[in-house]
């Protein structure tokens, strides 16, 4: 239900924007388990003739460093497998960081420049890590950070090992990631939080203060951010918090 809401919201935004080649809709995208169903629903809407992605420009949040681009667990492979190959997005409009670039810092600068050249990101879809991270902005990241090289926290490596035959030694230790400020610069941010394993992080990021140890909490500073959660993800929130937000939605 949460994924359906988010997919419907993105479709609504694209339709309202009515993108053209000169004025494309710019979408920031995550990978991982949470958005997979959103991508399936968006692809189904495209196949049903409800939406076109021809004039949508995409920027992905992150990419691993040092594994071949066609490796099944790169985010390049993930995005083409789960989304891009099922819709009519133009390949030249897809932007994914290159974790094998000869100069990784230059690659990060190029990515930030490309976002600016596209006119900024209209809507950034995000997930939330169990430790409250957004993209690969691990606990302790600067809230003013931009796209950069990042060493992954052990908790993240452990969580992502499920995609690498449950072998932590196969998970890359470094990644390229958009910064917290890169996300905050988007005109709108929609975060999807699914499952009880995200409940503590969601509580810290909503009911706690803004804290660089829980980088998603930075969205408290954003003018137009929304978190869409299922019931399990709200288990650590105060009852009055859940009641308040449910009353708004109704």
Chunked into runs of 10 residues, the chain (250 residues) has average pLDDT values of 96 98 98 93 98 99 96 96 98 98 98 98 96 94 97 91 94 97 98 96 96 96 96 93 80
Q: How many residues does the chain have?
A: 250
Dihedral, CA atoms, 108, 31, 150, 236, nearest 10 degrees? 140
Are 100 and 56 contacting, i.e. CB atoms less than 8 angstroms apart?
no
- Annotated catalytic residues are 62, 131, 133, 138
Q: Which residues of 58-75 are buried (b: 16+ CB within 10 A; e: fewer)?
A: bbbbbbbbebeeeeebbb
Beta bridge partner(s), residue 21? none
Kindly write down the DSSP assignment for every residue of 69-119, as one continuous string: TTSTTSHHHHHHHHTGGGS---GGGEE---TT-SSHHHHHHHHHHHHHHTT
pLDDT of residue 244: 81
Tell me which H or E stretch contains 248.
Answer: helix 239-249
CATH class of the domain whose range is 2-249: alpha beta
pLDDT of residue 250: 57
């Amino acid at each position: 239900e949460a994924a359906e809401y988010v997919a419907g919201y993105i479709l609504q935004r694209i339709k309202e924007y009515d993108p053209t080649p000169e004025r494309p809709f710019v979408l920031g995208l995550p990978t991982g388990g949470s958005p997979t169903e959103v991508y399936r629903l968006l692809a189904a809407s495209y196949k049903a003739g409800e939406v076109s992605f021809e004039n949508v420009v995409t920027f992905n949040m992150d990419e691993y460093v040092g594994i071949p681009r066609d490796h099944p667990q790169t985010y390049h492979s993930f995005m083409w497998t789960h989304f891009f190959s099922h819709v009519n997005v133009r390949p030249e409009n897809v932007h994914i960081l290159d974790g094998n670039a000869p100069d990784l810092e230059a690659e990060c600068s190029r990515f930030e420049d490309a976002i600016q050249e596209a006119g900024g990101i209209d809507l950034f879809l995000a997930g939330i890590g169990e430790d409250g991270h957004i993209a690969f902005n691990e606990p302790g990241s600067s809230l003013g950070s931009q796209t950069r090289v990042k060493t992954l926290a052990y908790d993240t490596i452990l969580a992502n090992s499920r995609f690498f035959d449950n072998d932590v030694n196969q998970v890359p230790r470094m990644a390229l990631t958009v910064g917290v400020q890169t996300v905050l610069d988007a005109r709108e941010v929609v975060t999807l939080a699914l499952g009880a394993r995200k409940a503590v992080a969601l509580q810290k990021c909503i009911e706690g203060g803004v804290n660089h140890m829980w980088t998603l909490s930075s969205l408290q500073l954003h003018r137009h951010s929304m978190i869409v959660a299922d019931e399990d993800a709200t288990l650590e929130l105060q009852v009055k918090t859940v009641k308040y937000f449910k009353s708004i939605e109704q």
